[in-house]
A and B are shown apart, each in its own frame.
Chain A
Amino acid sequence: MTLTLNHYLLVSGLLFAIGFAGVMLRRNIIIIFMCLELMLNAANLSLVAFSRFNLVNGLPNYNAQVLVFFIITVAAAEVAVGLAIIVALFRARQTTHVEDINSLKF
């Protein structure tokens, strides 16, 4: 049995779904944030897989790998900013619980 592209895509998709589920199910913002990272990485996995699959001149498609690189960088920046906001929120409200931050509604 050989590994096909779909194997990777399936793993990536499941990882994405798990992350997504985490966002929907968890109530701690920090963990939600981790789950978002999972989703981004799921995308990375399929990108790399596609990059390996769509060979250009016998080499992986480096466009995609550069994109993965960018995604990782952006994710890091996002984490930094996001955590800063979460910290600021915690300082203001003493909570990281999504159910406690619903003063803006309707």
Chain B
Amino acid sequence: MSPILFYLFAAMTLAFAIAVVANRNPVASALSLVVSFLGLAALFVGLDAYFIAVIQVLVYAGAVMVLFLFIIMLLNIQAEERRKINLPAYAGGGLVTAAFVAQLWVVLQKYDLGKTAFAPLAEKHVDDVRNVGNTLFSTHNLPFQVIGVLILVATIGVVVLSKRELK
């Protein structure tokens, strides 16, 4: 991926991520999130992870975001009412974030190996889906089964937690 595209998508991802946090309107936040994830998917493509990129778009931008929006609509949540802004909390949160970023920066500076470029792949076009699928269903079968259980449990949970009260 050319650096320009990288910068573009990275900026897009980050900018809309900030928008998620900054927007007062939940719907706007949700939509910003979708755009951010799209940017992310593009970055995945740039890393030759096509399957993941597709999944990202399908699951996140498709399913999860719809769910979010759906709930926001269902609960009819308006823009966050203008409550008193808790300045110390904002300042504190900001400071912690800044500190975390600073630490991350230093860590990256000390990670010399990370300053090298990516090595090229052995072949130009990798059979991404096949490889992932192969791994998933052969060697990584056990965690995959556990994921299945997890989804079962989540399903039960959602049913239990949101089934209607019978009067």
Direct contact of A and B (CB under 8 A): yes
- Hey, which bits of chain A sit against chain B, CB under 8 A? 1-11, 13-15, 17-22, 24-28, 30-31, 33-35, 37-38, 41, 44-45, 48-49, 51-53, 55, 57-60, 62-63, 65-66, 68-70, 72-81, 83-88, 90, 96-97, 99
B48 contacts A60, C-beta separation under 8 Å: yes
With the chains together, A85 CA to B75 CA distance in Å?
Answer: 13
With the chains together, A20 CA to B93 CA distance in Å?
Answer: 9
Residues of A within 8 Å of B55, CB to CB, are 69, 72
Q: Separation in Å of the B55 CB from the closest CB of chain A?
A: 6
A45 contacts B64, C-beta separation under 8 Å: no
B143 contacts A48, C-beta separation under 8 Å: no
Residues of B within 8 Å of A84, CB to CB, are 157-158, 161-162
Once A3-B118, A65-B132, A66-B135 are accepted as A-B contacts, the answer to whether A52 and B48 lie under 8 Å apart by CB is: yes
Residues of B within 8 Å of A28, CB to CB, are 26, 77, 80
Confirm or deny: B166 has a beta carbon within 8 angstroms of a beta carbon on chain A. no
Residues of A within 8 Å of B3, CB to CB, are 1-3
Query: CB within 8 A of B17: which of A7, A19, A60?
Result: A19
Q: Write 10 A-B pairs (CB below 8 A) sorted by A numbering.
A: A4-B118, A6-B114, A13-B101, A15-B13, A24-B93, A28-B26, A34-B68, A65-B51, A68-B52, A73-B151
Residues of B within 8 Å of A33, CB to CB, are 68
Residues of B within 8 Å of A58, CB to CB, are 121-123
Q: Separation in Å of the B118 CB from the closest CB of chain A?
A: 6
Residues of B within 8 Å of A52, CB to CB, are 47-49, 118
B150 contacts A76, C-beta separation under 8 Å: no
Query: CB within 8 A of A25: which of B56, B90, B121?
Result: B90
Residues of B within 8 Å of A9, CB to CB, are 108, 111, 114
Interface string of B97-108 (1 = CB under 8 A from A): 100110011001
Q: Separation in Å of the A2 CB from the closest CB of chain B?
A: 4
Residues of B within 8 Å of A17, CB to CB, are 97, 100-101, 104
Nearest 5 A/B pairs, CB to CB = A58-B122, A24-B93, A77-B154, A22-B21, A21-B97
Residues of B23-57 at the interface with A, using a CB-CB cut-off of 8 Å, are 26, 29-30, 33, 36-37, 40, 43-44, 47-49, 51-52, 55-56
